Structure 1
Amino acid sequence: MTAEPATAAIGLAEPDGFSPALDTAAAAERQALIERWAERHGIDAARRLAEAEDLADSVAAEITPDNTVDTYRKSWTVWTRFCAATGLPETEATRGSLVAFVTWMLREGQQNGAGYAPSSASTHLAAAVVGLRQRGVTVSGDDQAKARAALEGLAVRLLQAGERRGRGQAVGGTVEGLYAIARTSPDTLTGDRDKALVFTGFHYASRSQDPAGLLAADVVGHPRGLVVSVLTGKTKHSVRDAKILYAGDPVICPVRAWSAYRARLAAEADPRWSASSAPAFVGIDRWGNVTGGMTPDSVTRAITRISARAGVPIDWTGHSLRIALASIGRTKGKDAVAIADQGGWARHSRSMLAYMQREDGWDDNASAGLT
């Protein structure tokens, strides 16, 4: 008597909860794996293992930040454009195709025909490899390393040729900039919101998504200042309760700025925007009407607009406040561990250490005082 195929008997051609995001190649790979489990361990065990795989897929999707998912999607589009331009198959990743990919990105990869900055090309390479593996394509670690080595070597050649691409690191905020913002913010709900957004973000090293993700209940008063519960972080370090103390000068005090903004919001806007469940920072149109909670993009635009209005030498971006805590904290002699905990970095984070470097290269010069 011929035995019925195990997967047919237990109905695992497409297991419950199977993600439609997995394409045909990945589905076939999963199917073959289930069949091997059924042969080794029996039908019931194969079902339970398949359910565990589905759970693992769901957890991975749940814990992957939205911006990372967006990067994967954009980078896969870059990979498919490369394959279309070169006639290479999308579902193969060899040493040659990956090296060709990074070369193409630096030479002409953007939609307008210009080359990407090396940092962008590096991101697209890493994310494209993730996309290939998600689709069941085997990508050798050695082949990926060869492509990355080629990218780094070509980036050096660009520098030697005097070509610098990309925006470079965002400019860090400054205390002088805070005073300029205080002077130039209008006496309106928008002006009060702007000061609260910048002054508090300066003190907890906010990314643009952090204030956008805050609810009013996440900012709690304390006798010594505020406690801001940051829940939108990308790592276990960046999800934190950041403590913000009263500043010595009331003009740029984040605690007083927050209180003034919330009081004005309660007085001038619909009461629903003052509820503890409402967004901590709201969008406001030109007529002073609240339009809803701020998004990461609107936070970035607001910070750039606020800094431009203040006349800072170089407009700030959504990352300027994050850089400020690390760079100014180091200048003021703050402990690196304390800076990391306040700003949500891992201790000894490479990005935090990079932010700590003095921008002018004179006061913190390694050769200073040697002769």
Structure 2
Amino acid sequence: MLSPPTEDSPSAPAPLRTDRQNLIERWAARHGVDAARRLAEAEDLADAVAQEITPDNTLDTYAKSWRVWTRFCAMTGLPEREGSRGALVAFVTWMLREGQQNGTGYASTSASTHLAAAVVGLRQRGVQVSSDDQAEARAALEGMTVKLLQNGERRGRGQAVGADVDGLRVIARACPNTLAGDRDKALILTGFHYASRAQDPAGLLAGDVALTPRGLVVSVLTGKTKHSVRDAKINRQDDREICPVEAWMAYRARLAAEAPPRWSEPTAPAFVGVDRHGNVTGGMVPDSVTRAVKRISARAGVPLAWTGHSLRIGLATTARKRGKDAVAIADQGGWARHSRSMNGYFQRVDGWEDNATAGLT
């Protein structure tokens, strides 16, 4: 059931209340009071629909960034509901210098995200923020980032390492012969083959993974863009040790044998949490998927530890190395066909293969 957003909801893209009231008065003068009331109700419904369809991870980002903004305002004595040029420039300066809870500065990418989301939050709360003022704050952020780099400061975690086939083999061999071990193997091998983000396997239901004569069809519904709603086809692999189809079948068979029947229902989570006693604890969430990928790769002794994004990067880079068509890679991973992020992953491969120093001696 859709419910109208509240005034302070970070997910409610509503105009100023005064603007809404002025609009209603114009409608009443033009169409009559009853029609104006119905049009106002339609506006409220539109706001509620916008709130309902906004992805949870986007809402989380807005909420987190708004907390960063309010913390900045509290520390500097600036009003929360003013988005002036000076306030926005001061905001990015504060973030780079001392914005984190521990008193250190944010990485520039994080500061950029918080700036964009804070502007959204201000506008949703009826604050007018001009594009010119936002652009000046972003220019200040970029300029200060260059200064930090020139002064030798490196912030952020850097690029995540991509998963590879050798790593998949090591991980498959290190998974214990338990329900949790079979779950781990299926999580990694299927996730690699459809270029999963951490939230993708967490959002899957058992019925979203269909077994066919050729392999698996994984219906991935992330809600991020229209390209993220896709049926990713995963072929059976010649190497059965790291075949995602074999791993999925083994995991589901073991789950059916060792867990209550409700966990094998089509409406149950595709990937479940398992405690140290082998009991199912519920469906996995994005954070638990991220922790699992890190833990699984560490257990296997993968030289460069994997993160929650390694499987996604790995599909793109490995397929590129094998000469797969860029359009086919984009469709499999749910990227737009000219995605900057996907092309950035390709550059990791191309930058070595097409490098001027390759094969000189």
What TM-score does the superposition give when structure 2 sets the normalisation length? Answer: 0.94
Query: Which residue number corresponds to residue 285 of structure 1?
Result: 275
Equivalents in 1 of 2:182, 2:234: separation in Å?
A: 18
Query: Which residue number corresponds to residue 19 of structure 1?
Result: 5
Query: Which residue number corresponds to residue 99 of structure 1?
Result: 89
Q: Which of 229, 241, 246 is the aligned partner of 1:251?
A: 241
Equivalents in 1 of 2:49, 2:142: separation in Å?
A: 34
Equivalents in 2 of 1:357, 1:366: separation in Å?
A: 14
User: Aligned residue pairs: how many?
Assistant: 356
Taking structure 1 as reference, are residues 233 and 324 closer, same or farther at Cα in structure 2, changes over 3 Å only? farther
* Amino acid aligned to 2:61: T
Structure 1 unaligned blocks of 5 or more: 1-15
Deviations 1:25-54 (A, max 9, x none): 933332233223323433233223212211
1:231 matches 2:221: yes
Deviations 1:86-106 (A, max 9, x none): 121111111111111101100
Q: Is the 8 A contact 1:17 1:54 kept in 2?
A: no
Structure 1 vs Structure 2 CA RMSD:
2.1
Query: Which residue number corresponds to residue 340 of structure 1?
Result: 330
Query: Which residue number corresponds to residue 109 of structure 1?
Result: 99
Equivalents in 1 of 2:123, 2:264: separation in Å?
A: 47
Equivalents in 1 of 2:215, 2:121: separation in Å?
A: 45
Equivalences for residues 204-219 of structure 1 within 5 A? 204-219=194-209
What TM-score does the superposition give when structure 1 sets the normalisation length? Answer: 0.91
Query: Which residue number corresponds to residue 184 of structure 2?
Result: 194
Report the secondary structure of 2:43's partner residue.
helix
Q: Is the 8 A contact 1:29 1:136 kept in 2?
A: no
Taking structure 1 as reference, are residues 27 and 273 closer, same or farther at Cα in structure 2, changes over 3 Å only? same
Shift of 1:18: 4.8
Report the secondary structure of 1:19's partner residue.
coil
Q: Is the 8 A contact 1:170 1:317 kept in 2?
A: yes
Equivalences for residues 286-301 of structure 1 within 5 A? 286-301=276-291
Report the secondary structure of 1:166's partner residue.
coil
Shift of 1:270: 1.2
1:171 matches 2:161: yes
Shift of 1:314: 1.8
Equivalents in 2 of 1:44, 1:367: separation in Å?
A: 75
Q: Is the 8 A contact 1:284 1:290 kept in 2?
A: yes
Deviations 1:309-367 (A, max 9, x none): 01111211111101111111111111111001000111101111112222694333267
1:312 matches 2:302: yes
Q: Is the 8 A contact 2:5 2:51 kept in 1?
A: no
Deviations 1:100-134 (A, max 9, x none): 11011000111111100000000000000000000
Shift of 1:170: 1.4
Shift of 1:17: 6.4
Taking structure 1 as reference, are residues 73 and 348 closer, same or farther at Cα in structure 2, changes over 3 Å only? same
Query: Which residue number corresponds to residue 110 of structure 2?
Result: 120
Structure 2 unaligned blocks of 5 or more: none
Shift of 1:291: 0.8
Report the secondary structure of 2:72's partner residue.
helix
* Amino acid aligned to 1:46: A
Taking structure 1 as reference, are residues 274 and 39 closer, same or farther at Cα in structure 2, changes over 3 Å only? same
Query: Which residue number corresponds to residue 77 of structure 2?
Result: 87
Deviations 1:209-266 (A, max 9, x none): 1111111111111111010111224111011100000111001000000001111111
Shift of 1:370: 10
* Amino acid aligned to 1:86: T
* Amino acid aligned to 1:42: G
Q: Is the 8 A contact 1:211 1:280 kept in 2?
A: yes
Equivalents in 2 of 1:114, 1:359: separation in Å?
A: 34
Report the secondary structure of 1:237's partner residue.
helix
Query: Which residue number corresponds to residue 316 of structure 2?
Result: 326
Higher mean C-alpha displacement, 31-40 vs 244-253: 31-40
Q: Is the 8 A contact 1:210 1:233 kept in 2?
A: no
Q: Is the 8 A contact 2:289 2:308 kept in 1?
A: yes
Equivalents in 1 of 2:262, 2:279: separation in Å?
A: 13
Q: Which of 59, 62, 65 is the aligned partner of 2:52?
A: 62
Report the secondary structure of 2:226's partner residue.
coil
Equivalents in 2 of 1:261, 1:17: separation in Å?
A: 40
Query: Which residue number corresponds to residue 67 of structure 2?
Result: 77
Q: What percentage of residue pairs aligned between the two structures are identical?
A: 76
Query: Which residue number corresponds to residue 49 of structure 1?
Result: 39
Equivalents in 2 of 1:69, 1:251: separation in Å?
A: 40
* Amino acid aligned to 1:282: V
* Amino acid aligned to 2:186: A
Q: Which of 342, 349, 354 is the aligned partner of 1:352?
A: 342
Q: Is the 8 A contact 2:92 2:111 kept in 1?
A: yes
Shift of 1:158: 0.9
